[in-house]
Amino acid sequence: MKQQPATAADSFAPFQQALAQGWGKALESFQSLGTGAGAGAAAWDVPRFSMGSEKLQALQQQYVDEATQLWQQGFAAKAGADKRFAGEAWRSNPVSAFSAAIYLLNARTLMGMADAVETDEKTRSRLRFAVEQWMAASAPSNYLAFNAEAQKKALDTQGESIARGIQNLLHDVKQGHVSMTDESAFEVGRNVGTTEGAVVFENDLFQLLEYKPLTAKVHERPLLLVPPCINKFYILDLQPENSLIRYAVEQGHRTFVVSWRNPDASMAQYTWDQYIEDAAIRAIHVVQEISGQDKKGGKIDTLGFCVGGTILSTALAVLAARGEQPAASVTLLTTLLDFTDTGVLDIFIDESFVQLREMQMAKGGMLQGNELASTFSFLRPNDLVWNYVVGNYLKGESPPPFDLLYWNSDATNLPGPMYCWYLRNTYHENKLAEPGALTVAGEKVDLRSIDAPVYIYGSREDHIVPIGGAYASTQLLAGKKRFVMGASGHIAGVINPPAKKKRSHWIREDGKLPKTQAEWLAGATEHPGSWWTDWSNWLKTHAGKQIPAPKAYGKGSAYKATEPAPGRYVKAKA
């Protein structure tokens, strides 16, 4: 009997059978996430879920089609589109190229399955996050057995790269976190946080820094900056060329900054009320007294960054309830006041999680800085975790000096009671946005009672304070408002000095503030470069007349300079 020639379909039949088996394995693994079983089980209890048969069939067909196309066109080209597998060593090693291409196909398919789940939005977001973490951790680039670049480097260096990798691993185990930069290259006060100034007041919660004027005259109304207490203030003063603090001083503002104390065991009982009363409000009053603005009607300009903006706004609302309106202006940078849209952080927050935290530390305790740092890093696992695992340990490389990543690794603790109050009343129950729903420092909090113009800035790609969440403050506050959107993320969008001529910002010239950020953006205009110049022009209109710059720090014996900036609080390690 004459044998029939093989067709193209025949040649792909075994391959398609293997794909069908692979699809079955992927589906089985994916379903284990929904039942809480298997290696992919998340830290929370994910309800069971289902997917429609049509969606499953479409995903299966897409999986087979993409795999067939991959087989026909070659693995290396497909994998090379991902920067983790873009090197020549990956393309020239068939085994590595195959593992990378199949990994990417499986990752796309699993993410597609997560999006197709029929369940509530929060469960779907949690499932997507779990799949992202799982896929990021299982990338073949993370393992020496599959990482072609690490293998080539080991051969080229005759094993020296592996020896250095082991040394790097031991070093990081000892210090308690993965090295993102050469931390030995930096020292706070020596080459980061170097703008000249002095400590003019301190208590158990913060030191107040005043900076030396760089102009012959200053505006009569000083500027007080309240940074986030979950990080250190010198993100606003990294280097002279990218320091927002120095920029403000150069623009003729008498500038003061809150430097939070890095909490230790002695602060395990501190509450949110104390952070408002004894820190933010105390700082406002001290700046008023030092500048002479404590007289009737005297005001100061204020700025809050991230959680610092939430603290500042709460403090101003408490003061308003007491009949005080100390702010001539309020600037809020990537700040949440309405916690409806909290982005990816929302997946962590529910009643069970909040209750667990309250049991652990609501009556005393400490949220450790390394836990906070790890949480934020795993929001972007490929960039902030596995990238350094591969470079430091598999390739034996030392990360280059980078001031921003040094700051990012300089962790801070939080007192348990303060953290638990913040977690429940903002992220979970969103009570700060409800007038009178919260009592802080003995006063009902109503953000609408703050009588001051407000400059609100949000970053377009911010994954910590989503742009919609930043914009929501425009609908809460009663004063005249200006909203500006910058490019990039939570930090890079904010720390964007004009001299760099980088990125863009968006402004709506008609000043309208519709209900949603999307509506606002439809009428906004893009402008090249930094938003700092727009903010500076706005701030000058609220800073008062110019007066001779003070020749000494502080005021009299009550507020005298005690030590040079940046002070000792910022140097304390978690």
Q: What percent of the chain has pLDDT over 70?
A: 90
Mean pLDDT calculated for residue range 531-537? 98
- Which of 20-29, 68-77, 260-269 has the least mean pLDDT? 20-29
Could you give all domains of the chain from N- to C-terminal order, each with its CATH number? 14-43+50-151 (no CATH), 157-186+369-405 (no CATH), 198-368+411-571 (3.40.50.1820)
* Termini Cα distance of the chain: 81
- What pLDDT shows up at residue 261? 98
> Strands 454-459, 327-333: parallel, antiparallel or unpaired by DSSP?
parallel
Q: What is the pLDDT of residues 169-191, one digit of tens each?
A: 999 999 888 999 999 999 999 99
**Per residue in 324-371, pLDDT tens?**
999 999 999 999 999 999 988 898 899 999 999 999 999 999 999 988
Closest CA to 253 of 493, 568, 538: 538
List 188, 205, 306, 565, catalytic entry: 306
Q: How far is CA 334 from CA 14, 447, 472, 516, 537, in A?
A: 54, 17, 11, 16, 19
Ranges 33-47, 87-101, 189-203, 339-353, most confident: 189-203
Q: Which two tokens stand for residue 181?
A: 């930069």
411 with 396: CB under 8 angstroms?
no
The amino acid sitting at 45 is D
122: confidence class by pLDDT, cuts 50, 70, 90 = confident
> How many C-beta atoms surround the C-beta of residue 213 within 10 A?
20
Residue 189, Ramachandran bin (φ over 0: left; ψ between -120 and 50: alpha; else beta)? left
CA 33/CA 328 separation, integer angstroms: 53
The larger pLDDT score, comparing residue 91 to residue 538, is at: 538
State the average pLDDT over residues 421-440: 97
Q: Which residues of 372-388 are buried (b: 16+ CB within 10 A; e: fewer)?
A: bbeebbbbebbebbbbb
Residue 120's pLDDT is 85
Q: Give the separation between CA 399 and CA 390, rounded to whole angstroms.
A: 11
Q: Give one word for 494, left, alpha or beta, with left for phi > 0 and alpha for psi -120 to 50.
A: alpha
Identify the pLDDT of residue 75.
58
C-alpha span between 193 and 568 (Å, rounded): 12
Is 420 catalytic? The answer is no
